[in-house]
Amino acid sequence: MSEPILSIKNLEKTYPNGVQALKNVSFDVKKGEFLVIIGLSGSGKSTLLRCLNRLHDPTGGSVRFHEQDIVQLSTTSEIRNLRKRIGMIFQHFNLIPRHTVLSNVLMGKLAYTPTWKSIFGLFSDEDKAEAMKYLNLVGIAEKAYIRADQLSGGQQQRVAIARALTQNPQVLLADEPVASLDPATCHTVMDYLRKVNQELGITIICNLHFLSLVRIYATRVIALKGGQLVYEGDPKSIDQAWFEKIYGEGAKEVHIN
């Protein structure tokens, strides 16, 4: 548990319009942990996650991942190779609406498949079997041949988890995975993430809004405020004082059951 899989040092991100989204952020992500990032909207949580798989390009600092500095990667193939090993799920699921669940999950194999083969839909039988395996894992295999936009939000997020798992990632980034789901579905999706974390040993870095969820699922928590790291530690030790420091004075905690 102690060995870091990702080591983030002095990470900076300034957008072309001058907004400084991340200021000198440093922390380690330990192998196999369920790390949760909290903070207000606009505090830089999403930007941080997107810097880790280079959906955004950081403007300074370093991120060490297997003896490699993610920030320094420049060619398309290097970045593809990185994304292959770091899966991601999103608040709005980001599936292809008109495609079937199975073909959405097979997107996880894009980085492993030559472009011309993938365009003709020529995924190998092993790939398909693997996709079905992960659909089984998130309990949605019976929907494999249904169009993705026919599913409920919670089901779509589970498909997105299966898609990310099909990449065989070592790290899974989750950007507000339950923010557009109802409270009951919230727990189902979070439970699957925990299952992925505990049974497959995949390190999870997850942005969350609700502190009650943080206390249940996180093994460790960091907090961002205005692009800066303001807290790092055990989720259970976030008390009222910390809460007000992170979310501003007079903020009230909303509970989700």
Partner 1 sequence: MKSGEKSKIFRRSILDGVSFALFVSVILSLIFNPTDEELLNLELISIIFFGAMLAGAVLSHVLNIAGYKTFGENLFEPAYVKAQSEAKAWYNTFWGWHLFTTILVLFIVGIFKSKFSMYELLDEDGFEGAKRLFKGIFSPNWAVLPAAVMNIIETVFMAFMATILAIPFAFILSFTAAKNIMKHPAAYSFYMFIRTLLNVTRSIEALVWAIIFSVWVGIGPFAGMLALMIHSIASLTKQYSEMVETVSEGPIEGVQSCGASKLQTIWFAIVPQVMLPYISFTVYRWDINVRMATIIGLVGGGGIGTMLIKYQGQAMWPEVGTIIVVIAAVVWIMDQASAYIREALK
Q: Which residues bind partner 1 (CB under 8 A)?
A: 53, 55, 76, 80-84, 87-88, 90, 92-99, 107-111, 115, 118-119, 160, 163-164, 167, 173
Report in angstroms how near the CB of residue 73 gets to partner 1 at its nearest. 12
Report in angstroms how near the CB of residue 138 gets to partner 1 at its nearest. 16
Nearer to partner 1 among residue 107 and residue 229 (C-beta) = 107
- 253 secondary structure, DSSP code: P
Nearer to partner 1 among residue 119 and residue 241 (C-beta) = 119
Nearer to partner 1 among residue 88 and residue 204 (C-beta) = 88
Nearer to partner 1 among residue 9 and residue 83 (C-beta) = 83
Are the C-beta atoms of 154 and 181 separated by less than 8 Å?
Answer: yes
Q: Give exposure, 198-232, as e/b (b: 16+ Cβ within 10 Å).
A: eeeebbbbbbbbbbebbeebbbbbbbbbebebebe
**165/107 Cα distance (integer angstroms):** 11
Distance (Å) of CA 150 to CA 31, 94, 227: 36, 14, 37
Are the C-beta atoms of 173 and 49 separated by less than 8 Å?
Answer: yes
Nearer to partner 1 among residue 93 and residue 247 (C-beta) = 93
Report in angstroms how near the CB of residue 51 gets to partner 1 at its nearest. 13
- Supply φ then ψ for residue 64, to 5 degrees: -90, 130
Report in angstroms how near the CB of residue 92 gets to partner 1 at its nearest. 5
Are the C-beta atoms of 85 and 169 separated by less than 8 Å?
Answer: yes
Report in angstroms how near the CB of residue 2 gets to partner 1 at its nearest. 28
Are the C-beta atoms of 44 and 22 separated by less than 8 Å?
Answer: yes
Nearer to partner 1 among residue 158 and residue 163 (C-beta) = 163
Residue 45 DSSP SS3: helix
Report in angstroms how near the CB of residue 232 gets to partner 1 at its nearest. 26
